Amino acid sequence: MGRVSLLVALLSVAGFAVGADWIGETREWEGSTYQCKCYSDNSCYPTVTDWAVLNTTVGGALQRAQPPGAVCHNTLGNVSTLDEGKCAEYKAHFNDEQYITDDGIAELWPLYTNNTCIPTDNPADPCTQGFYGTYVILATTKEQIKAGVDFARERNLRLIIRNTGHDFLGRSTGYESLIINTHSFKDVKFIAKYTGPGDWTGTAAVVGAGVQGRELFRQAWNQEPKQVIVGGECPTVGWAGGYIQGGGHGPLSTIYGMGADNVLSFDAITAKGEYVTANVNENPDLFWALKGGGPASFAVVLSITVKTFPEVPTAGTILNINSTHTNDSAVFAEGFRIFHNLSNHYTANGMFVYFELSVGTLHVAPFVGPRMDEAKLNEVLKPLFDQLDAAKIPYSRHTKAFPTFFELYLDLFEDETFAVQSSSVVGGRIFTQTDIAERGDKVAEALLFANAPTESTFGLSVGHIVNPGLGVPVADNAINVKWRNSSSFTLTNIVMSGQETWAQKQEIERINTDVLGKALREAGPDGAAYVNEGDLNEPNWQYTYWGDKYPKLLETRKKWDPEGVFYAKTTPGTEDWEVIDYGRYLL
């Protein structure tokens, strides 16, 4: 019979509680037999009446998941959708990260919607549902989430858990899926003294699943005394709904560890529709897995209790090397090599460094020096500027100190304009302290190569120089231990127009994995990859993403979601699934 899906195996061995009426069709795909989820061309798919009953159950929170750009097109299928006023609004905000993440189904990375219903000046342009889901529950209560999980499980539907759509890997959308949107869960409660479970006795916060990075930083800063929470550099990332489940690196990770290192407890809904708390005392295996084990894989997170820390004075430096300084590619490459080879030095001093790299352009914005003033940061960065000067590398720099990290964050960090509504294939690599110390030149060469891996492709890389192991050398969670010795994590992109054919997309994915990805793996053999920002086709992804923790993760996944209710590609247990028919059907 060949390889079978998780669903088939459980039907034949465990006989889970999905009635015969809700079993999708059996299909052959590349020599293997699969059992499909239920889709609209199957008799098992819910009827109009079934959806209406669900809508009643969730108090009217169920909606058709219309692609946001449909308002710029005459029709979506047989439905008239053109609305010139709403189209003008959507066009005006098409590159507005916050606007897009506030939408109920929009995806910042439209590649994974099949680039459908893009804003247009010609309403006659075609608009299809693409890979968007069909229905969405805009949940405001945990009961609505439970109802959606129960409906998807009982009806064998593809289920997507969506928070913000800030998602480089397309896990926030899926063909003909039921989407549960948790973006409205915005409550944050700060705790002056945490009393357990566990041994933490400092300050803490309970953070709802829909809270985004910058709003969480702001609320912590508004406390008296001011506080900080480990979060990502991007302002719109869903902190509790995705970021933490991947592990979560950020500007304060070198001194305070990964985001998931600081979690004290989860409140969640399981694949069985049960409300649970997971911490060191209750459901400790689920607690362990949710801390870095992968997004939308083990349960739907409702809220997270997390450590907070006192605000810290922070200094920052912006560095640029670009065409205003030099057009000599050899000079530029040497400047980047000097900069990146000092990664171990930066992290040894508790720093985080964010940089963007493309052909002939290095933009470091910024070097982050927690617990530093301007003089201290200049002292730490002196080896960099001494080496650049000695090599006659032209550059510009600007340094500024701030009373708190959040004030630096608002001033020196920039919103990710490239990330909004972009089409690119993503990859990346965690380079360890060993990689940088022993093969730093090779690593720099591979990152420069990523800008143009072939004559017909070009790229943009986003780098994060960070070592969570400095602040938290050991952690009992699912995060790959390679993060404890990391030095630099770079997210790579092969940029696309969005108009490529399916065959062209497949070829670019091949280049991403077998050409660019191969160069990164060979340059950093001691390294790993990051589940939230990596290649979906990463070879040996189970080990590369989680190392020797993967067997325990797989065991935990099968315990908490034995029926395969949750699906997010390249997460524990999904080696038994396949997406076929141009990405439409989940088997």
| Beta-strand pair 204-208/227-228 | unpaired
| pLDDT on residue 112 | 87
With CA atoms as reference, report the closest residue to 560 among 345, 304, 288, 314. 288
The alpha carbon of 265 is separated from its chain's Cα centroid by a whole number of angstroms, namely 21
- Whose structure tokens read 């994590």? 489
201 sits in the region (left: phi over 0; alpha: psi -120 to 50; else beta) called alpha
Rounded Cα gap, residues 506 and 518, in angstroms: 17
pTM beyond 0.85, yes or no:
yes
Distances (CA, A) of 525 to 357, 420, 436, 517: 22, 32, 11, 12
Helix axes 405-412, 213-221, angle to 10 degrees: 140
Which residues are CB-contacts of 184 (< 8 A; sequence separation ≥ 6)? 138, 139, 140, 210
- β strands within 22-117, DSSP E: 26-29, 32-35, 62-64, 75-76, 79-80
Phi, psi of 234 (to 5 degrees): -80, 135
| pLDDT on residue 423 | 84
Q: E strand or H helix at 149, and its extent?
A: helix 142-155
| pLDDT on residue 110 | 85
Phi, psi of 346 (to 5 degrees): -60, -50
Q: Which long-range contacts (CB under 8 A, 24 or more apart) does 214-219 make?
A: 214/409, 215/186, 216/188, 217/406, 217/409, 218/406, 219/188, 219/190
Contact 289, 298 (CB under 8 A): yes
| pLDDT on residue 587 | 58
For residue 394, whether the previous peptide bond is cis, meaning omega lies within 30 degrees of 0, is: no
Distances (CA, A) of 177 to 26, 64, 300: 18, 11, 16
| Beta-strand pair 300-307/361-370 | unpaired
| pLDDT on residue 580 | 75
Distances (CA, A) of 119 to 77, 102, 174: 16, 18, 21
The alpha carbon of 185 is separated from its chain's Cα centroid by a whole number of angstroms, namely 19
Question: Could you count the other beta carbons within 10 Å of the beta carbon of residue 375?
Answer: 11
| Beta-strand pair 135-138/178-181 | parallel
Q: Which long-range contacts (CB under 8 A, 24 or more apart) does 504-511 make?
A: 505/111, 505/425, 508/425, 508/457, 509/425, 509/537, 511/453, 511/454, 511/457
Domains with residue ranges and CATH for the chain: 48-182+554-586 (3.30.43.10), 188-310 (3.30.465.10), 314-548 (3.40.462.20)
| pLDDT on residue 14 | 32
Which residues are CB-contacts of 389 (< 8 A; sequence separation ≥ 6)? none
Q: E strand or H helix at 278, and its extent?
A: strand 275-278
| pLDDT on residue 421 | 60
The greatest distance separating any two alpha carbons of the chain, rounded to the nearest whole angstrom, comes to 74
HSE-up of 324 (CA within 13 Å, CB side)?
7
Rounded Cα gap, residues 319 and 334, in angstroms: 15
Contact 162, 180 (CB under 8 A): yes
Contact 362, 336 (CB under 8 A): yes
Provide the residue count of the chain: 587
Question: Could you count the other beta carbons within 10 Å of the beta carbon of residue 528?
Answer: 25
Q: What string of pLDDT tens digits covers the 587 residues of the chain? A: 223 333 332 232 233 334 445 667 787 777 777 778 899 988 899 999 999 999 999 999 999 999 999 999 999 989 999 999 999 999 999 888 899 999 999 988 888 888 889 889 999 999 999 899 999 999 999 999 999 999 999 999 999 999 998 888 989 989 999 999 999 999 999 999 999 999 999 999 999 999 999 999 999 999 999 999 999 999 999 999 899 999 999 999 999 999 999 999 999 999 999 999 999 999 999 999 999 999 999 999 999 999 999 999 999 999 999 999 999 999 999 999 999 999 999 999 999 999 999 999 999 999 999 999 999 999 999 999 999 999 999 999 999 999 999 999 999 999 876 555 678 999 999 999 999 999 999 999 999 999 999 999 999 999 999 999 999 999 999 999 999 999 999 999 999 988 888 889 999 999 999 999 999 999 999 999 999 999 999 999 999 999 999 999 999 999 999 999 998 999 999 988 888 766 666 65
Phi, psi of 354 (to 5 degrees): -110, 130
Which residues are CB-contacts of 304 (< 8 A; sequence separation ≥ 6)? 206, 207, 209, 240, 244, 263, 265, 266, 267
| pLDDT on residue 136 | 98
With CA atoms as reference, report the closest residue to 347 among 362, 315, 369. 369
The alpha carbon of 83 is separated from its chain's Cα centroid by a whole number of angstroms, namely 32
With CA atoms as reference, report the closest residue to 161 among 45, 301, 273. 301
Rounded Cα gap, residues 587 and 571, in angstroms: 15
Contact 245, 295 (CB under 8 A): yes
